[in-house]
């Protein structure tokens, strides 16, 4: 309020100095001083207006900056939300990857077990194959049947007689026997056995002492076939 009175007083004095020459007029030093004061006041007013304009611009800039800060804060909040979402997604992806890794390890273990089982089965199959081959080889050495070979009938008389039946080559002797004809009750078989030097059967007979009569003897052999 005091500043307003001072300004009002200066204004009145200035008006009087300009209106009444007795108080100085244009050539009065007081008038010159008032003019200088007025000039200074105008300059100060101009500077004040400029300062006000600058202040208004600064205030507008500050408000704009504040709005920008608020917008930035909002964007930062959104960014933080997105970051949290990304972190959650990364955590989920890591969990999924860990689960997949564990599943892969379990699958590898199962595959290794299956491979081991397959190798075992292959080894068993090889053993079975070898056993089958051995069994086939053994079966090929075994007899599949037999055949009876009948030798020639001896002469009919009262002397000691021998007869034989021979198996074919490669046919082992399984057994043998004989047959007698004529007065068979007048003779006795003294020998009936496998051939000594080859496969077949050999028999021998002679007359019983004190008996009379002619007889025949014939050998037969049981030969194995493959």
Mean pLDDT computed over 39-62:
80
* DSSP character at residue 182: E
The backbone torsions φ and ψ at residue 13, rounded to the nearest 5 degrees and listed phi first, read -60, -40
* Higher-confidence position of 64 and 148: 148
Grade residue 158 by pLDDT with cuts at 50, 70 and 90: confident
Grade residue 195 by pLDDT with cuts at 50, 70 and 90: very high
pLDDT score for 191: 93
* Higher-confidence position of 30 and 22: 30
The residue among 146, 158, 148 whose CA lies nearest residue 183 is: 158
Mean pLDDT computed over 18-44:
65
Residue 177 has pLDDT above 90, yes or no: yes
Instruction: State how far the Cα of 1 lies from the Cα of 9, in Å rounded to an integer.
Output: 13
Instruction: State how far the Cα of 125 lies from the Cα of 69, in Å rounded to an integer.
Output: 80
Instruction: State how far the Cα of 7 lies from the Cα of 9, in Å rounded to an integer.
Output: 5
The H-or-E segment that residue 224 falls in is strand 215-225
Residue 22 has pLDDT above 50, yes or no: no
Mean pLDDT computed over 42-60:
80
User: Do residues 202 and 164 lie in contact, with contact meaning Cβ atoms separated by under 8 Å?
Assistant: yes
User: Do residues 172 and 223 lie in contact, with contact meaning Cβ atoms separated by under 8 Å?
Assistant: yes
Instruction: State how far the Cα of 32 lies from the Cα of 218, in Å rounded to an integer.
Output: 185
The residue among 204, 224, 225, 226 whose CA lies nearest residue 215 is: 204
């Amino acid at each position: 309020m005091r500043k307003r009175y001072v300004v009002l007083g200066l204004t009145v004095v200035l008006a009087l100095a300009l209106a009444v020459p007795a108080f100085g007029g244009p050539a009065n030093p007081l008038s010159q001083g008032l003019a200088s004061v007025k000039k200074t006041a105008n300059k100060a007013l101009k500077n004040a207006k400029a300062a006000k304009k600058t202040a208004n611009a600064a205030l507008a800039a500050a408000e704009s900056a504040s709005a920008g800060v608020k917008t930035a804060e909002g964007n930062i909040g959104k960014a933080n939300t997105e970051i949290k979402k990304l972190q959650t997604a990364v955590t989920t992806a890591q969990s999924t990857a860990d689960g997949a890794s564990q599943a892969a390890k379990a699958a590898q273990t199962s595959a290794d077990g299956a491979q081991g089982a397959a190798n075992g089965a292959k080894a068993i199959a090889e053993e079975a194959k070898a056993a089958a081959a051995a069994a086939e080889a053994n079966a090929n050495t075994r007899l599949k049947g037999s055949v009876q070979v009948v030798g020639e009938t001896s002469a009919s008389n009262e002397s000691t007689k021998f007869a034989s039946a021979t198996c074919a080559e490669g046919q082992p002797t399984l057994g043998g026997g004989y047959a007698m004809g004529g007065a068979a009750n007048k003779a006795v078989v003294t020998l009936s056995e496998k051939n000594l030097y080859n496969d077949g059967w050999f028999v021998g007979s002679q007359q019983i002492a004190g008996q009379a009569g002619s007889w025949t003897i014939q050998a037969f052999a049981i030969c194995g076939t493959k």
